[in-house]
Chain A
Amino acid sequence: MSKLVVKDLVKIFGKDPKKALDLTKQGLSKNEIFEKTSQTVGVLNANFEVEAGEIFVIMGLSGSGKSTLLRLINRLIEPTSGKVYIDGEDVTAADREKLREIRRRKLGMVFQRFALFPHRSVLDNAAFGLEIQGVEEKERHESAYKALELVGLKGWEHSDVSQLSGGMQQRVGLARALASDPDILLMDEAFSALDPLIRKDMQDELLDIQSKMNKTIIFVTHDLDEALRIGDRIALMKDGEVVQIGNPEQILTNPANDYVERFVEDVDMSKVLTAEGIMKNPDVVVTTKDGPRYALRLMREKGLSSIFVTSRDRKLKGIVTADCCVDAVVNGYNDINRLIVPDVPKVSPDTHLQDIIPLLADSKYPVAVVNEEDKLLGVIVRGALLAGMIKKGGDEDGAA
C-alpha cells in the first residue's frame, strides 16, 4: 500500500466552486474558467501515489498550484473535491479532531519563510509540535535536543531564533518538523529563500537525514536543479495540473510535452545523467586467456585503439592498447597479461556526468563503469558522453 495517495484532487478558489467544477469536467482551461466565473482553479485533478521512504518532488513555476497542492494534503487548504489517503486513511473525510490527530502524528511541515516563532527559543521552537500534543516538558525537550543535533544545531538550543542565519533558521524549521517523528514531511519551497551555496548544503543535509530516518518527503520547489538533485520522482505542474510524473532521467530524456521540454531545456545535463545512463554495453572485451593477436583483430574490426581486459568472471583487469599488441605480435609474445595497463579510470554506475568529464579529459583511455566487486558493467567513450550531453541518452551512436 502506498504511504500517500492523492486521487482526483481539485481546488477551486471562489464563491461558487461547484459551477467551476462542472466547467472543468467539460474540459475548459484555467483561463477560460476564470473568464466565465472569475474563479481560480488552484489544482485540477491531481493524481499520484507516493511510496514510503520516497522523496517526491512537486515542481512548477509560481502560480502553477504546487504549494496549494501541498496544503491540500494536510488540509491547510480545504479541497473542493477529491481524496487524500495517508496509510489508507481518508484525510479528506476526517473531522476536525481526527484531522488534528493526523497532523500531529503523521505530518511535519517546513515552510519557505521558515515560520519560526520569534518569541520562543530554538529549543522551544523545535519542541512546538510535541508541546501541542501535550507531551511533558522533559520528554519534549529531549526529543527536541535530538532533532536539533540531527540537523547540526547542537549548542544553539537556548539561542533566540533571530540570532541565527537563514540557513540555520531553516535547520530549526526542519528540526521542528522532525521532533515529533512524523512519517511524512511536507516541505514547501523549504530552501528557496536561502542563497545558492547554503541551499546546496541543505539539500545534502536533507539527503543525509533522509538516509538515516527514511521519511516520506513531499518537496515543493520551483527550482529544477533542486528537483533533479533530491527527487526520487518528480511531478511537474502547470496551471494547476500535473503534466508529468517520473524520475529525473525520464523527465529529462523523455519530456511528456512541449511545456516540460521547454522547462528542462536549460538543464545542465552533466549534473543529471549518470554513468549508467550513457554507458555502452561492454560486449567488446578480451579476457586474460585471449592472446594479443585476437585482441588486435577485435580492435581492428571495431575500429578501436584500445580494449578492456577482464577475468573470466568479468572482473576488470585493465586495458591493452593496439600499439602494445602490435609490438607483442612482432616480438612473438603470447601472454596478454604482460601487456595490460591496470591503471584505468573507473567509476561507479551512479557517478554523475560532471565527474566523468575530467576523467575522460585527462586520460587517453575510455572510462570503465564497474560495480563494487570491480565487475565491468559498461564503457564510456567520449562520443557517448557528448551524445548524453545533447540529450540522446547515449543509446545509439558514439563508438570510439
Chain B
Amino acid sequence: MVLPKIPIGDTVAWLVDVADKYFGWFFDFITDVINFLVGNFTDLLIGMPPVLFIAIIALIAWRLAGIKVAIGSALGLLLIWNMEMWKPAMETISLVVIATIISLIISIPLGIMTARSDMVHRVVMPVLDFMQTMPPFVYLVPAVILFAIGSVPGLIATVVFAMPPAIRLTGLGIRQVPKDLVEAAEAFGATEGQKLLKVQLPLAMPTIMAGVNQCILLALSMVVIAAMVGVGGLGGMVLRGIQRLDVGMGFEAGLSIVIIAIILDRFTQKIGGKRKTTT
C-alpha cells in the first residue's frame, strides 16, 4: 500500500505565497525600515575617515579590555584598510551590528520570559531547536520571496540564525540565579520588576553576555551565506573570489572577517568577564 504524500512542502510554499499576497504591505514596511537603518549606518561608517574609525575602536578597546586588545584591534583594522577591504568591511560591520541589535531586542525579553514561565519555556525551546538545526539556505529562499533581493532577507536570515543562543543563555542565566537570593528579594517586598532589575538580571549578566557574544559571532558567520541573496560587504567579496577562482581576493576578504570577529569577540568577552570578577 502506498501512503499519500503529506503535502508539507506545498503547504509551506502556499503559506509564503499567501503571506506575500496579503501581507506584502507589512513586509514592505519592514524592508523600508531595515533598509533605512542599514543604509544610514553603512553610509555613516563609510563616510567616516578610516583613521577616525580605527582611533575610536582602539579607544573603546583600551577602556574596555586594556592596551593589548587596543593595539591588536588597531593593527587588524589597519591591515583591512591596507588590503583595500575597507568599504566592504564597513558594510559587513554595519549589517552585523544591526542584525545583532535586532536579535538582542527580540531574544533578551524572550529569554527572560522563558525563565519566568515554564509554559513559555516549553513552547520556545523546540522552536529554537528547529531554528538552530534548519540549514539557513532553507529560510533564505522564502525570505527573498517576502523581502526581495538585497540586504533585508540576508539580515532577516542572520537574525533568525543568531537569536537562539542569546535566548537560551538569557533564560539559563536567570534560572541559574540562586533561589535563596530571589527569595531574599521577595522577602523584603520586591515587586516582580524590582526582582528582575535589581537581582536577576545583574546576576545573570555574565551568562547573558556570553549569549550576546555568541549572537555576534553567529551573525558574522552568516555574512557569506547572506551574500548569496545580494548582501554586499566582505561576504560578497568572498563569494566573488569563489566565483572567479580568485584565491587572493577570497583569502583577503576571509581574513578581514576573521579580524572583525576577533575584535568583536574580545569586546564582548571583556564586558562579560568584567562582571564575573565582581560577582
The interface of chain A, by Cβ under 8 A from chain B, is 74, 76, 100-104, 107-109, 111-113, 115-119, 128-129, 131-133, 160, 176, 180, 186
| Alpha-carbon distance between A186 and B186 when the two chains are bound, in angstroms | 13
User: Of all chain A residues, which has the CB nearest B180?
Assistant: A115
Shortest B74–chain A CB gap in Å is 33
List 7 interface pairs A-B (beta carbons < 8 Å), by A numbering: A116-B181, A117-B181, A117-B184, A118-B203, A119-B275, A131-B198, A132-B185
Name the contact of B188 in the complex, choosing from A113, A118, A119, A180 (C-beta under 8 A): A180
| Alpha-carbon distance between A160 and B278 when the two chains are bound, in angstroms | 8
With a CB–CB cut-off of 8 A, which chain A residues contact B203?
117-119
> With A104-B188, A132-B188, A132-B189 given, is the CB distance from A119 to B183 under 8 Å?
no
With a CB–CB cut-off of 8 A, which chain A residues contact B180?
111-113, 115
> With A115-B180, A117-B199, A119-B278 given, is the CB distance from A107 to B190 under 8 Å?
no
Q: Is the CB of B278 within 8 A of A101?
A: no
Report if B243 contacts A (CB, 8 A): no
Report if B6 contacts A (CB, 8 A): no
With a CB–CB cut-off of 8 A, which chain A residues contact B186?
76, 103
Q: Is the CB of B191 within 8 A of A119?
A: no
Q: Is the CB of B189 within 8 A of A103?
A: yes
Q: Could you say which of A109, A113, A117, A160 has the most chain B C-beta atoms within 10 Å of its C-beta?
A: A117
Report if B178 contacts A (CB, 8 A): yes
| Alpha-carbon distance between A116 and B178 when the two chains are bound, in angstroms | 10
With a CB–CB cut-off of 8 A, which chain B residues contact A119?
202-203, 275, 278-279
The interface of chain B, by Cβ under 8 A from chain A, is 178, 180-181, 183-191, 194, 198-199, 202-203, 275, 278-279
With a CB–CB cut-off of 8 A, which chain B residues contact A109?
184, 187-188
User: Of all chain A residues, which has the CB nearest B203?
Assistant: A119
Q: Is the CB of A76 within 8 A of B183?
A: yes
Interface of B is mostly: helix
Name the contact of B187 in the complex, choosing from A76, A112, A116, A160 (C-beta under 8 A): A76
With a CB–CB cut-off of 8 A, which chain A residues contact B279?
118-119
Q: Is the CB of B189 within 8 A of A111?
A: no
> With A131-B198, A132-B194, A160-B278 given, is the CB distance from A115 to B188 under 8 Å?
no
> With A109-B184, A132-B194, A160-B278 given, is the CB distance from A115 to B189 under 8 Å?
no
User: Of all chain A residues, which has the CB nearest B205?
Assistant: A119
Shortest A147–chain B CB gap in Å is 13
Q: Is the CB of A103 within 8 A of B187?
A: yes
| Alpha-carbon distance between A103 and B184 when the two chains are bound, in angstroms | 11
Q: Is the CB of A115 within 8 A of B191?
A: no
Interface of A is mostly: mixed
Shortest A186–chain B CB gap in Å is 8
| Alpha-carbon distance between A42 and B140 when the two chains are bound, in angstroms | 55
With contacts A103-B186, A132-B188 known, what are 20 further pairs, Cβ within 8 A? A74-B187, A100-B189, A102-B189, A103-B188, A103-B189, A107-B187, A109-B184, A109-B187, A109-B188, A115-B178, A115-B180, A115-B183, A117-B181, A117-B198, A118-B278, A119-B275, A128-B198, A129-B189, A132-B194, A180-B188
Q: Is the CB of B187 within 8 A of A100?
A: no
With a CB–CB cut-off of 8 A, which chain A residues contact B194?
132
Shortest B195–chain A CB gap in Å is 9
Shortest B181–chain A CB gap in Å is 5
Q: Is the CB of B184 within 8 A of A132?
A: no
| Alpha-carbon distance between A176 and B188 when the two chains are bound, in angstroms | 9
| Alpha-carbon distance between A233 and B189 when the two chains are bound, in angstroms | 28
Shortest B204–chain A CB gap in Å is 10
Q: Could you say which of B184, B188, B275 has the most chain A C-beta atoms within 10 Å of its C-beta?
A: B188
| Alpha-carbon distance between A102 and B189 when the two chains are bound, in angstroms | 8
With a CB–CB cut-off of 8 A, which chain A residues contact B189?
100-104, 129, 132-133
With a CB–CB cut-off of 8 A, which chain B residues contact A113?
180
With a CB–CB cut-off of 8 A, which chain A residues contact B278?
118-119, 160
List the 9 closest pairs (A to B, CB-CB), nearest first: A104-B189, A103-B189, A109-B187, A115-B184, A115-B180, A129-B188, A100-B189, A119-B202, A118-B279
| Alpha-carbon distance between A180 and B194 when the two chains are bound, in angstroms | 17
User: Of all chain B residues, which has the CB nearest A130?
Assistant: B188
With a CB–CB cut-off of 8 A, which chain A residues contact B181?
115-117
| Alpha-carbon distance between A100 and B191 when the two chains are bound, in angstroms | 8
